[in-house]
Amino acid sequence: MIKLLLPILLAIGYGLLMYRLSVWRTKRQLDANSTELADPILNQLTRQMAGALDLPRIRVFIYEIEPVNGLAAPDGRIFITRGFYQKYRNGEVTADELASVIAHELGHVALGHSRRRMIDFSGQNALRMVLMMIVGRFIPFIGIWIANILTSLVAARMSRSDEYEADAYATALLIKSGIGAGPQKSLFTKLERLTKTNAGAVPAWLLSHPKAQERIAAIETLERKWGQALRGA
């Protein structure tokens, strides 16, 4: 029995260690490569959202990487990549649309997703490693293949429901702070069009998220529901 359990326990221990290490490495990378956002228009919008949430302020940082992405760190800080911010500076994305990304990432923080998302962001390999060691022991050769499939299944399920919840949080927050859900929907359409016009340059923010059309439909369902509730009150 011990002979069977020991390798499994070792694999799990190793996985946990790898996870800790990757969380620590990600945090260090973020700290070293980011500066606080200092754009007067965006700061005004984050102040509006902070007001709606009764928070003193919302801290947003620019993360110095090219891929268009947003990220919520487990400590509650929100990061927008330089690439995304540049799209705003170029006029391809509006301030309200970028605010909807901040609202979405705030949703991940508020709903407690960010800790899990660190697994998504940097620790998926650890999970794969553990599964490979466990499954591979019992099923040689195709064990690796099974471990890969299991890992992507877990990650996809986890992120899909998280994304819809974060979207719903953002919709509510955007409406409450007077920005409205319009920019949230128009951004999805824009980003999807962007992926079609230059293939190969798919924004990471879209890749890790469900399909734009389905997300827009989910937001519109909420708007209808909340609209009825408001009229009924």
Nearest-angstrom CA–CA distance, 26 and 197: 31
Name the residue with tokens 């909340």.
226
User: Which stretches of the chain bind Zn ion, using CB under 5 A?
Assistant: 163, 166
Strand residues in 59-155 grouped as ranges (E): 60-63, 70-72, 78-81
Smallest gap from Cβ 70 to Zn ion, in A, equals 7
**Residue 111 or 144 having the CB closest to Zn ion:** 111
CA distances from 114 to 85, 95, 164 (A): 21, 24, 14
Other beta carbons within 10 angstroms of residue 162's beta carbon come to: 20
Nearer to Zn ion, 130 or 206 (CB): 206
The candidate with the shortest Cα–Cα distance to 125, out of 5, 19, 33, is 19
Residue closer to Zn ion, measured from CB, 15 or 79:
79
Q: How far is the CB of 90 from Zn ion (least distance, A)?
A: 23
Tokens 């099923």 appear where?
A: 139
Nearest to 101 by CA among 68, 129, 76: 68
In this complex, which beta carbon is closest to Zn ion, that of residue 60 or of residue 166? 166
CB of 108 to Zn ion, least distance (A): 6
Closest to Zn ion by CB, 166 vs 191, is 166
Q: How far is the CB of 142 from Zn ion (least distance, A)?
A: 33
Cα–Cα distance, 45 to 183 (Å, whole number): 13
Using alpha carbons, list the distances in angstroms from residue 154 to 56, 119, 172, 223: 36, 11, 28, 30
Report the distance separating Cα 13 and Cα 6, nearest Å. Answer: 10
In whole angstroms, how close is the CB of 61 to Zn ion at the nearest point?
17
Please state the closest distance from residue 166 (CB atom) to Zn ion, in A: 5
